[in-house]
Structure 1
Amino acid sequence: MIRQSFAWWSFAMAPDTDPRALLAGAAGAGAKGVEMLPDDLWPVAQDLGLSVVTLSGHALEVGFNDPARHAALRDEVRQRIDDAAAGGCEAVIVFSGSRIGDGADAPAIAACVEGLGPVVEHARGTGVRLLLELLNSKVDHPGHQCDRTAFGAEIVRQLDDPGLRLLYDGYHMQLMEGDLSRTIVDHLDLIGHVHTAGAPGRRDLDDRQEINWPAIAGLLARKGYGQWVGHEFVPRGEPVAALAQAIALFNAGAEAGVRNV
C-alpha cells in the first residue's frame, strides 16, 4: 500500500486547531506521516506513530536559480538538513526561486545545478533526501521558474545523485501542463514524492475537480512507486473527515490499479 501523508499547513488553517487532536485524528484516518509540521510538534506526531516526512528548506520566492544567493541558501538549507537529521525528518524541500533577469531557463538550470550540488552532498551524508518542488506560475506562484516537469527533471538528471529527487505536485502540474499520467511514467525514476490536491481550486479530491486521482493512484501502484504521497489540499469541511476520504479514495484506486493490470 502506498504510504500517505498530509500537509500540516493546509489542514491546520483554522485558528482554533488543536494540534494534538488533528494529529491523532489524522493517524486514526490512516495517515502514516505529516509534512511541513512545526518543529516543536515533531515529538507529538512521532508519539502517535506518524513519520515526519518533509520540511521546507527555505522561502520559495528566492532560490537556487540566483547565483548571488547560493552562499546564504546553502547555509540555510544545510542547517535545515541538520535539523531534519537530528529530529527524524526524512526530506527537505528546495526551490528554484522566481525568475530573475531575462528569465531564461538554461542559465537558471545551470545555476540550480551549481548551487544545489554541495547541498545534495551534505544531505546524502546525513541520510536526508532533498526534494525539488514543481510549482505553478499561473495562479499561485507568479514568476516561479521551476513550473514545468522538464525544468526540474533536467536539474535532477544533471546532478545525477539519488539524494535529490522531484517533488511532483499533481495540482500544480495540472494547471501548467496536464498530461499527468504520461508525465509521471516518463519521469518516475526522478520522482521522490507526490503531492495531491483538486484542480482547480486546491480543494478535496472529489467530483468537483478535474484530476482523476484514483487513476493516478492505480498507475503509481502498478509501476511500483515506493515513495510518499502527500495530500496538500485545503479541505472544504472538517479536516480529518476530508483526509480520511482522500486516503480511502487513494487506497481504492491503488488496489484497483493493481487488480486490473
Structure 2
Amino acid sequence: MKRRNFIATAAAGTAGAATTSLSAQSMASPKKEFKLKNNINHSVAQWCFASYPLEEFLAILKDLGVKGIDLIGPDNFTLLKKYDIHCAMCNGAELGLTDGFNEPKNHEQLIKNYKEVIPKVADAGYTNLICFSGNRRGMDDYVGLQNCYEGLAQLMPIAEKHGVVLQMELFNQINHPDYMCDSSLWGVELCRRLDSDNFKLLYDIYHMQIQEGDIINSIKQYHQYFGHYHTAGVPGRNEIDETQELYYPAIIKAIHETGFEGYVAQEFIVSWEDKIAALKDALLRCDI
C-alpha cells in the first residue's frame, strides 16, 4: 500500500473510530445501571451543581443513594436533616481562600469564627470543617507554617472537645496562584506539628495531580494525614471519564485499601448537557 493512501485511509478510520467512541461514551455511559455498592462513602460538592436549588439537589442525592454533600454551612443544616444527607465537609468559619491562618493578623477573627462554628457542626452531628492556609504575599513557607501552627493550635482543644476535625485544603498554583498550602509535604508537616487527630488535610486529587502528581503513591505514603478527598478530571476540571488523564478506579482502590472510612466528594465542573447523568457516571467510576 502506498504511504499516501495508507495515511488517508488510516486518518479516515481513526476519525470514524473517535467519533464512534465519543458518541458511545456520551450515549452509553449515562445508561449504565445505577446502583451504588457504598464501599466508599460518596459526597458531592454543592457548588458544582449550583444551578439546582439546594433542596431540589438534596432530593436528587437522596434518590441516588448518595449519603453526603460538601461545603454547606450551618444556615442550611436543618435542610440537610430533612433529607437525611450528611454534611461531609462543612464551611462557614473561613475568611476565604486567600486570607488564612498563615497571616497572624487573621488569627483573632478566624479563632472567633471557628469557636462559633465548631459547636454548631458538632451539634448537627457532623465532623469535618474546612480551613485554608491563605496566600503567601511574599511570606516564607516556613514562617507561614509556624503561623498556621500557632493559630490552629489555639483551636485544637475546642475541636477535640467537640469531636470536630479541621481540614486544610491543598490547592495548585495554576488555579490558585500564591496559595501557601500547595504541597503534600508542607501540609503533612503542619499535621505533624499540631499532632492532633482533629486536624487533617483535604486532599484534592485534581489540584495535586497538577501541582505534584504521583497521586497513588502520595495516598499510600501519607493517607493517615488525609481526612477527605475531592475529585475532578485533569485537564479542565471536568468529568472523570476517558477524556482526562487520571484513572479514578485505581485511585479509589488505593484509597479504599488504606482503610479510609471518610468521604470522597465529586467536585468537577459539569460539561455534559445532562448534569445528573454526568454525576451518576462519576459516582459509578468511584464505587468499588
CA-CA distance at 1:149 after TM superposition: 0.6
Q: Does the aligned pair in 2 maintain the 1:9–1:37 contact within 8 Å? A: no
Amino acid at match of 1:233: F
Q: Indicate the SS of the match to 1:187.
A: helix
Q: What corresponds to 2:118 in structure 1? A: 81
For 1:45-80, what per-residue CA distance to the aligned partner results, in whole angstroms no more than 9, with x for missing partners?
222221112122311110111112111111112222
Please tell me whether residue 51 in structure 1 is matched to residue 86 in structure 2: yes
For 1:152-174, what per-residue CA distance to the aligned partner results, in whole angstroms no more than 9, with x for missing partners?
11100111100001100000101
Q: Indicate the SS of the match to 2:87.
A: strand
Q: What corresponds to 2:256 in structure 1? A: 221
Q: Does the aligned pair in 2 maintain the 1:170–1:194 contact within 8 Å? A: yes
Please tell me whether residue 203 in structure 1 is matched to residue 238 in structure 2: yes
Deviates more, 1:160-169 or 1:48-57: 48-57
Q: What corresponds to 1:234 in structure 2? A: 269
Q: Does the aligned pair in 1 maintain the 2:68–2:86 contact within 8 Å? A: yes
Structure 1 CA distance for aligned equivalents of residues 197 and 160 of structure 2? 8
Q: What corresponds to 1:127 in structure 2? A: 163
Amino acid at match of 2:64: A
Amino acid at match of 2:119: D
Q: Indicate the SS of the match to 1:221.
A: helix
Q: What corresponds to 2:184 in structure 1? A: 149
Structure 2, unmatched stretches of 5+, are: 1-38
Q: What corresponds to 1:114 in structure 2? A: 150
Structure 2 CA distance for aligned equivalents of residues 246 and 26 of structure 1? 13
For 1:209-243, what per-residue CA distance to the aligned partner results, in whole angstroms no more than 9, with x for missing partners?
11111110111122221111111111123332222
For 1:71-97, what per-residue CA distance to the aligned partner results, in whole angstroms no more than 9, with x for missing partners?
111111222212212333321101110
Amino acid at match of 1:78: K
Equivalent residues in 2 for 1:155-194 (5 A)? Answer: 155-194=190-229
What is the RMSD of the two structures over their aligned residues, measured on CA atoms?
A: 1.4
Structure 1 CA distance for aligned equivalents of residues 58 and 89 of structure 2? 15
Q: Indicate the SS of the match to 1:36.
A: strand
Amino acid at match of 1:18: P
Structure 2 CA distance for aligned equivalents of residues 97 and 224 of structure 1? 31
TM-score normalised by structure 1 residue count: 0.90
Q: Does the aligned pair in 1 maintain the 2:102–2:145 contact within 8 Å? A: yes
Q: What corresponds to 2:40 in structure 1? A: 2
Structure 2 CA distance for aligned equivalents of residues 109 and 40 of structure 1? 32
Larger radius of gyration: 2
Structure 1 CA distance for aligned equivalents of residues 130 and 180 of structure 2? 15
Q: Indicate the SS of the match to 1:165.
A: strand
Amino acid at match of 2:191: V
Structure 1, unmatched stretches of 5+, are: 255-261
Q: What corresponds to 1:95 in structure 2? A: 132
TM-score normalised by structure 2 residue count: 0.82
Share of identical aligned residues, percent? 34
Moved >3 Å (runs of 4+): 38-41
Q: Does the aligned pair in 2 maintain the 1:30–1:247 contact within 8 Å? A: no
Q: Does the aligned pair in 1 maintain the 2:74–2:121 contact within 8 Å? A: no
Q: Indicate the SS of the match to 2:155.
A: helix
